């Protein structure tokens, strides 16, 4: 295991950002920055041993400071959407920014990917880790409680990128943390991911209204284009005449994972026949947002000037269900004062 770090430039506010890179003995190489706790790059060997970056991203720090689509971003305090941009705890209503129509998305305009984090580095023979941490003060983004948060990224010799989220608050609050990396196993600049094959361990999903807020309904995937219980290409049914897909412009839906939640389990697998790469997803969280980059548009500062476009990446955002703070039948993202939030997501890479 090898960890190096170098300057990643200065933020608009004059803060010095650092880029950290972990390399394992297989040649897999993952880079992160303390600005926003972003995952900047993930270089994975293909079937011939050729290293390619499979994570869409930016060439420099300025790209991550803007980063409207959230490439590689650490998302919090609440990932995904909160209906009406408000919720209630202990009889008190908390109002949030309406940054997605009438709703709140990913915490608001200034998300957790917009701050500089304190850093700790840990090295062992078969694993190396980088921990990013900060205090999210009471009422930041409109959420109650001083929240001590950390996200730890680890690379193992088994080509696993392990993400562990820890948080503790001094008041009752809601917490729903995730990562918003866009994956393309052919390489970040390879265009459409519609020919990638996907399997998801899920029998049900949560349908939404037209503004992508769950209605509270739990719907079986059986007999619908939402069914990924057997491998199929992402593009096979993405343009089907099916209302949830039409409303979202593709897949942008929360899947109810068929796991017990007591341990980290495999919940999805993505395969790319062209490169021979595959990625397995593991988590202990109850849901996962499958997002096929339906709103991704060309932008500046991308890696190598790549011309990213709609459906050029796919996200696997492990999470509590969207708007669970307002739908009592959903698993709750309420974090009681003094209790610890602890979740794990693993992206494991291999080749045929």
The CATH number that applies at residue 273 is 2.70.98.10
pLDDT, tens only, 308-328: 999 999 999 999 999 999 999
- Note the pLDDT of residue 46: 87
Provide the domain count of the chain: 1
pLDDT category of residue 261 using cuts at 50, 70 and 90: confident
Q: What is the pLDDT of residue 49?
A: 86
- Give 55's strand partners: 183
| 88 is annotated as an active-site residue | no
Q: Which of 131, 160, 280, 317 is catalytic?
A: 317
Q: Tell me which residue has tokens 């719907």.
A: 219
Query: Residue 317 catalytic?
Result: yes
Per-residue confidence (pLDDT) for residue 329, from 0 to 100: 97
Q: Compute φ and ψ for 8, nearest 5 degrees.
A: -115, 15
**Mean pLDDT confidence for 19-35:** 97
The 8 Å CB, 24+ separation contacts for 207-212 are: 207/244, 207/253, 208/244, 208/247, 208/248, 208/253, 208/322, 209/247, 210/247, 211/81, 211/100, 211/101, 211/102, 211/103, 212/81, 212/247, 212/248, 212/252, 212/322
- Give me the domain span that covers residue 343: 2-351
**Which of 180, 188, 196, 253 is flagged as catalytic?**
180
Whether the Cβ atoms of residue 280 and residue 266 lie closer than 8 Å to each other: yes
Cα angle vertex 149, ends 144, 153, to 5°?
A: 150
Is residue 352 over pLDDT 80?
no
CA of residue 175 relative to chain centroid, distance: 14
The confidence score (pLDDT) of residue 37 equals: 98
Q: Read off the pLDDT of residues 196-240 as tens digits, 9 standing for 90 and up.
A: 999 999 999 999 999 999 999 999 999 999 999 999 999 999 999
């Amino acid at each position: 295991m090898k960890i190096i770090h170098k300057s990643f430039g200065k933020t608009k506010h004059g803060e010095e950002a650092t880029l950290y890179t972990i390399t394992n003995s297989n040649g897999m190489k993952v880079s992160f920055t303390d600005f926003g706790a972003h995952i900047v790059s993930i270089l994975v060997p293909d079937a011939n041993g050729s290293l390619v970056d499979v994570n869409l991203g930016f060439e420099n720090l300025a790209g991550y400071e803007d980063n409207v689509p959230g490439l590689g971003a650490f998302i919090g305090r609440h990932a995904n959407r909160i209906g009406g941009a408000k919720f209630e705890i202990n009889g008190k209503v908390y109002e949030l920014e309406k940054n997605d129509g009438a709703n709140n998305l990913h915490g608001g305009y200034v998300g957790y990917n917009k701050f500089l984090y304190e850093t700790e580095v840990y090295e062992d023979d078969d694993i190396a880790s980088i921990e990013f941490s900060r205090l999210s003060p009471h009422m930041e983004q409109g959420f109650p409680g001083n929240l001590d948060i950390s996200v730890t990224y680890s690379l193992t010799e088994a080509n696993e990128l392990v993400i562990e989220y820890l948080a503790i608050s001094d008041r009752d609050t809601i917490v729903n943390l995730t990562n918003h990396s866009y994956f393309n196993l052919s390489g970040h600049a390879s265009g459409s991911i519609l020919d990638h094959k996907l399997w998801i361990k899920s029998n049900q999903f949560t349908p939404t209204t037209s503004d992508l807020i769950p209605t509270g309904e739990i719907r079986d995937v059986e007999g619908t284009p939402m069914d990924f219980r057997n491998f199929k290409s992402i593009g096979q049914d993405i343009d089907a005449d099916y209302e949830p897909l039409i409303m979202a412009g593709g897949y942008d839906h929360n899947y109810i994972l068929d796991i017990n939640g007591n341990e980290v389990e495999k919940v999805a697998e993505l395969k790319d026949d062209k490169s021979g790469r595959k990625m397995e997803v593991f988590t202990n969280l109850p849901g996962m947002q499958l997002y096929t980059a339906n709103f991704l548009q060309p932008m500046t500062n991308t890696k190598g000037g790549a011309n990213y476009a709609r459906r050029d990446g796919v996200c696997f955002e492990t999470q509590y269900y969207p708007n669970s703070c307002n739908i009592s039948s959903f698993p709750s993202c309420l974090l009681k004062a003094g209790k610890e939030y602890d979740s794990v997501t693993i992206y494991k890479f291999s080749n045929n």
